[in-house]
Amino acid sequence: MFDTGHTAFMLLATSLVMLMTPGLAFFYGGLVGRQNVLSIMIQSFVSMGVTTILWYVCGYSLCFSGGEGGFIGNLDQAFLRGIDPTTPFAGGAIPLLVFVAYQMMFAIITPALITGAFSNRIRFPAYLVFLVMWLLLVYFPFAHMIWGGGLLAKWGVLDYAGGIAVHNIAGMAALASVLFVGKRRVSEKGPHSIPLVALGTGLLWFGWYGFNAGSQLRVDHITALAFLNTDIAASFAAVVWLIIEWSRVRKPRFVGLLTGAVAGLATITPAAGYVSTGTAAAIGIIAGVVCYLAVELKNRLHWDDALDVWGVHGVGGALGIILLGLFGSTAINPAGADGLIHGGGAFFVKQVVAIIGSSLYAFGFTWGMLWLINKFTPVRTTEQMESTLDESLHGEQAYLT
């Protein structure tokens, strides 16, 4: 009944995307201080549990059931009602359960991305409430509007694997969080374990092949294109970031190389299946420059985005959406659209308007959520808690000596 090749590939892609969340935990864990490793890592891992439960209860249904052309879906498939192992996904090549699982992995990692911005400053109970509210009020609506046949999809906005639905809204939520909670009271000396950062980057880069290539939802030439474009953009962005930082600080910094790679991955994500390999290289170069400058701007404005979530994911996701509107080509993928340089001025405008709208919505709703949560339970840690967050919040330590 089902195509075993497509099904096997999508199960592998789902597993790869799942691996990205632990990878993110290692990436963030290495960047913070020794006393706060567990507090940042648990925020990623707990999303795997909480988001899965919410996805089963109502998340999948709100994203992909009903609501054609609208803001959000309905609850007709809450608790996966009406879906059994033989229910086919559109086209019938794979079981619908595989699609449910694949999209669930996107929902898991998106709020986890935000946590790097407010490192060391958020109490765990407040984060759990934030996680649920943010999924319900921000992620689920955008996943529906873009991938569930909702408003933006009907309008003609394209987002191959999550420039808006993952990276931009997470990055703008991160910025809102940073401005709401304020600066860290206890300064850190920088990454406590660059090898952990490297391990996390490797897992993220590896998982990103499932993130982007898997978004084709089958195996064909576009799958191969998205796979290769992912690597090309990441590589160019990593090297460009390395060169820029090397020229400025006179040393080739490993963390800069790793950060540049993640910026390239985030930026190519919305365009991976819609542009040529040459365009992917150009996107990688642009990402390395623009995201580096965004991080420099953040530093000059004294925004305490601890792990540069806004500059890498927020700016990278927005940049990728805009560059898709510039470089997209139906000659590469007939299911895509022609960008501005190919005569698609209207498509370019739609992409720009969509990224402005998503940025404002994610920022505003995130700020509002934190304000509301703070009325019921304190969001911000105390200065005493901040200095030894792992022990204060969780009664555990990453390192005993």
DSSP 60-119: HHHHHSS-TTSSS--STTGGGTT--TTPBPTTSSSBHHHHHHHHHHHHHHHHHHHTTTTT
3-state secondary structure of 380: strand
Burial class from Cβ neighbours inside 10 Å (0-12, 13-18, 19+) for residue 358 reads buried
Residue 387's pLDDT is 81
* 389 within 8 A of 36, measured Cβ to Cβ: yes
The full set of domain ranges for the chain reads 4-394
* 273 within 8 A of 226, measured Cβ to Cβ: yes
What is the mean predicted confidence (pLDDT) over 114-135?
95
- Going by C-alpha positions, the residue among 126, 134, 98, 115 that lies closest to residue 41 is 115
pLDDT in tens, 156-202: 999 999 999 999 999 999 999 999 999 988 777 789 999 999 999 99
Reading the block at residue 91, the tokens are 């086209």
Length of the chain: 401
| Cα 352 to Cα 349: distance, rounded to the nearest angstrom | 5
The reported pTM is 0.96
Question: Is pLDDT at 15 greater than 70 in this prediction?
Answer: yes
Residue 1's pLDDT is 80
Residue 295 CB neighbours (<10 A): 21
| Cα 386 to Cα 102: distance, rounded to the nearest angstrom | 36
34 membership: H or E segment, kind and range: none
4-394 CATH choice from 1.10.3430.10, 3.40.640.10, 3.40.50.620, 3.90.1010.10: 1.10.3430.10
What single DSSP character describes residue 41? H
What DSSP line would sit under 101-170, residue for residue? Answer: HHHHHHHHHHHHHHTTTTTT-B-HHHHHHHHHHHIIIIIHHHHHHHHSS-HHHHHT---SS-IIIIIIHH
pLDDT in tens, 349-399: 999 999 999 999 999 999 999 999 999 999 999 888 888 889 988 999 998
Residue 256's pLDDT is 97
Residue 401's pLDDT is 65
Give the range among 65-69, 204-208, 386-390 with minimum mean pLDDT: 386-390
Residue 63's pLDDT is 98
